[in-house]
Amino acid sequence: ELKVEQNPLFLSMQEGKNYTIYCNYSTTSDRLYWYRQDPGKSLESLFVLLSNGAVKQEGRLMASLDTKARLSTLHITAAVHDLSATYFCAVDMFPRLTFGEGTQLTVNP
């Protein structure tokens, strides 16, 4: 069964703190995406990770991929309120992209 699990599903954190969102998946894949979704809006592409050990960084967000462990992480550094959103990982599990349930992040002042 194709499964993508994110942890945690809900995350409330203070501005300035660091935290990591985890994405585990059930079958072999070497392509993983992270998306951001604001309430009532569509999905915005953040990162695409294409190989084992891939690391991408944009601002306060850093994503990594370990294909052997079937695990990706999204690390948040010194969170700010503007990062409040729902974050989805999506794994290329041929023939389709399978999304996780999403992690709803709230950054409090």
Partner 1 sequence: EAEVAQSPRYKITEKSQAVAFWCDPISGHATLYWYRQILGQGPELLVQFQDESVVDDSQLPKDRFSAERLKGVDSTLKIQPAELGDSAMYLCASSLDAWTSGRLSQETQYFGPGTRLLVL
Site residues for partner 1 per CB under 8 A: 4, 31, 33, 35, 40-45, 48, 88, 90, 92, 94-97, 99-102
Cis peptide before 39 (omega within 30 of 0): no
Task: Give me the least distance between CB of 107 and partner 1, in Å please.
Answer: 20
* Closer to partner 1 by Cβ: residue 34 or 79: 34
> What would the DSSP string read from start to end of 11-75?
EEEETT--EEEEEEESS--S-EEEEEE-TTS-EEEEEEE-STT-EEEETTEEEEEETTTTEEEEE
Q: How far is the CB of 38 from partner 1 (least distance, A)?
A: 11
Given the complex with partner 1, which of 47 and 107 has the nearer CB atom?
47
CB of 30 to partner 1, least distance (A): 9
Is the CB of 81 or the CB of 96 nearer to partner 1? Answer: 96
| Alpha-carbon torsion (36, 15, 61, 82), positive or negative | positive
Minimum distance from CB of 1 to partner 1 (Å)? Answer: 14
